[in-house]
A = this chain, B = another copy of it.
């Protein structure tokens, strides 16, 4: 007999199949027993009428593991559209009192039991959307001439300031955990043309907001022979592709999450582009207290993104609020050739990037002005001494993108084992 998964159950319709899974729920109705089974790919109803299976059915508790086989048939009332009429049922292990019940639990309790909480429908759906987003990111870049080049986690110096770095003892020395692969991307872009890195990044921020984790995943493309406009075009095409792929392949998961998919469908290209200066003007008209020169806070981002159905690209922020490596706009050196992409519905910045300084003297003066250790950045300056080219790129945080596309409140549910200032367990 063919073993199959719930996701692929349509292929077994009208035939006998074997299903391995866990009890999600069970109920009785007269002489018929119903088992709701989850197998990690979906949930499905199993109907039990044979008397010899009743004893096993009765023993089964929530999350007990089992192997069941029987005839598969289409049934529009069953979740997933199919159900199974059991001919055999074997319990593998009878679960003890499962701590997560349908009643409401507090977040602290659920986080403490994150290894089990992941089995719940909502968490299951989020993780499946996350995986789809990651695959879409990789497919898009791989198919558009970008080479994956992994950048290091252990670094000798800070990319964007030292206060939020995690420090590690490294034999006789010390090392810092990376905050971004970008500086290394600039080296590999000069070797391979167009590249991307994708890995975990770390910030020792004492933030307790719903948008921050200490460990999060970032995908960062970088292009040689490209400027700010190219980076904006890439960001637009990239995000649009991801949204379409999630809509195409993750409908059941979005339904579990009760995501308003119409809001995702309304996203169209081109995305609106707005200079920082124009954005400040809009914010002031809306009554936000911001002066030209200040960085945006979450309330500012929310006001801006609420004006558009599509992500909005805010470009040319004041150089003073951006990283040392941003190229000044030749038209107005007070602003940088940078862009932040703000997701709709108040989800805030999902992408940040821009064009990098390609002049070695300017870069060295910026490193000095930011009091960064010259020796640690020697290799980085080298990139401007040996075949410097205009180059640009950006980084997208996977967790923020996942929160937005899933339509969920808190970023901590977008990663399997979130790490925050208070939690490294489980």
> Please, what's the 1-or-0 string for A112-125, where 1 marks a CB less than 8 Å from any CB in chain B?
01111011000110
B119 touches A152 (CB 8 A): no
Choose among A92, A152, A202 the residue with the greatest number of B CB atoms under 10 Å from its CB.
Answer: A152
Closest CB in chain B relative to A198 CB, distance in Å: 9
Q: Which residues of B contact A358 (CB under 8 A)?
A: 93
Closest CB in chain B relative to A131 CB, distance in Å: 4
Of all chain B residues, the one with the shortest Cβ separation from A169 is: B167
B387 touches A184 (CB 8 A): no
A194 touches B40 (CB 8 A): yes
A131 touches B148 (CB 8 A): yes
The stretch that binds B, out of A303-311, A316-324, A342-350, A376-384, is A376-384
Q: Which residues of B contact A206 (CB under 8 A)?
A: 171
Indicate whether A20 sits within 8 Å of B224 (C-beta atoms), given known contacts A40-B192, A149-B127: yes
Residues 170 to 215 of chain A near chain B (Cβ within 8 Å): 170-171, 173, 175, 177, 184, 187-194, 199-200, 202, 204, 206, 214-215
A259 contacts the other chain (CB 8 A)? no
A34 contacts the other chain (CB 8 A)? no
Indicate whether A153 sits within 8 Å of B95 (C-beta atoms), given known contacts A20-B389, A135-B142, A386-B63: no
CA–CA, A200 and B199, complex, Å: 8
The stretch that binds B, out of A283-291, A362-370, A416-424, is A416-424
Closest CB in chain B relative to A125 CB, distance in Å: 11
A397 contacts the other chain (CB 8 A)? no
Of all chain B residues, the one with the shortest Cβ separation from A421 is: B171
A64 contacts the other chain (CB 8 A)? yes
Indicate whether A145 sits within 8 Å of B7 (C-beta atoms), given known contacts A40-B224, A152-B419, A425-B379: yes
A131 touches B154 (CB 8 A): no
Indicate whether A134 sits within 8 Å of B148 (C-beta atoms), given known contacts A98-B386, A187-B426: yes
A388 contacts the other chain (CB 8 A)? yes
B147 touches A127 (CB 8 A): yes
Closest CB in chain B relative to A120 CB, distance in Å: 9
Residues 217 to 261 of chain A near chain B (Cβ within 8 Å): 217, 224-225
> Please, what's the 1-or-0 string for A126-138, where 1 marks a CB less than 8 Å from any CB in chain B?
0110010011001
Q: Which residues of B contact A193 (CB under 8 A)?
A: 5, 39-41
CA–CA, A417 and B183, complex, Å: 12
A155 contacts the other chain (CB 8 A)? yes
A275 contacts the other chain (CB 8 A)? no
Of all chain B residues, the one with the shortest Cβ separation from A149 is: B416
A424 touches B188 (CB 8 A): no
> Please, what's the 1-or-0 string for A79-96, where 1 marks a CB less than 8 Å from any CB in chain B?
000000000000011011
A156 contacts the other chain (CB 8 A)? yes
Choose among A166, A167, A419, A424 the residue with the greatest number of B CB atoms under 10 Å from its CB.
Answer: A424
CA–CA, A118 and B194, complex, Å: 14
A385 contacts the other chain (CB 8 A)? yes
B96 touches A385 (CB 8 A): yes
B20 touches A191 (CB 8 A): no
Q: Which residues of B contact A93 (CB under 8 A)?
A: 358, 384, 387-389
Q: Which residues of B contact A8 (CB under 8 A)?
A: 145
CA–CA, A389 and B382, complex, Å: 55
B154 touches A419 (CB 8 A): yes
Given A127-B147, A378-B426, 7 extra CB contacts under 8 A: A40-B189, A40-B194, A63-B387, A115-B184, A200-B200, A379-B426, A380-B426
Selected A-B contacts with CB under 8 Å, 27 pairs: A20-B225, A22-B387, A40-B224, A92-B388, A93-B384, A93-B388, A93-B389, A95-B385, A98-B386, A113-B379, A113-B382, A115-B184, A115-B380, A118-B191, A119-B191, A127-B147, A131-B148, A135-B148, A150-B416, A155-B424, A156-B425, A166-B170, A170-B214, A184-B426, A379-B425, A379-B426, A380-B426
Q: Top 4 nearest A-B pairs by Cβ distance?
A: A40-B193, A379-B426, A115-B187, A20-B225
